[in-house]
Homo-oligomer: A and B are copies of this chain.
Amino acid sequence: MPATFTHRRRVEFADTDTAGVAHFTALFRYVEEAEHAFYRSLGGAAFEWHDRGLAGMPRVHASLDFLAPARYGDEVEVVLRVAEKRSRSLRYEAELARVEGEARTVLARGEMTVVYATRGHDEREWTAAPLPPTLVDGIEVAD
């Protein structure tokens, strides 16, 4: 049962800014993409349309410390580590690194807390709900 998950993607042109590096919000997106790929790997989904309504995983906290820049074309590895699993939420520690052959340079480190939430199709407000079995059974807390 996995307690960590690793996701790789490249820095795309649209992710960069005029300082010549990946914009800081791109790194936050990469962490979310890794989280969503994690659920997919378990047979779950970060967002689902059901007959009765929607289910999603909004963030209630996100933070990153930026240690080194990523540039266009860089291969970035996101490592997620499940730090806490509660009935309705998950807390992750995240590390992003640039990988180039054997070399690995840490770009950023941070945390993210997500809540499982649902709403009926004709409701505007999301309500926190217990994590579904796929995630409860599939996700372990890291040591």
Q: Which residues of A contact B (CB under 8 A)?
A: 12-14, 16-21, 23-25, 28-29, 32-33, 36, 40, 45-47, 49, 51, 54, 56, 58-67, 69, 71-73, 110, 121-122, 124, 126
Contact = CB atoms under 8 A, between A and B. Distances in A.
Given A66-B58, A66-B61, A18 B13 contact: yes
Contacts of A17: 13-14, 16-18
Given A59-B66, A60-B65, A61-B66, 18 more contacts: A13-B23, A13-B32, A14-B29, A14-B33, A18-B71, A19-B54, A24-B28, A24-B62, A25-B29, A28-B28, A28-B62, A46-B72, A47-B72, A49-B124, A51-B122, A60-B66, A61-B65, A63-B63
How many copies of this chain are found per oligomer? Answer: 4
Contacts of A29: 12, 14, 25
Interface majority SS on A: helix, strand, loop or mixed?
mixed
Contacts of A33: 12-14
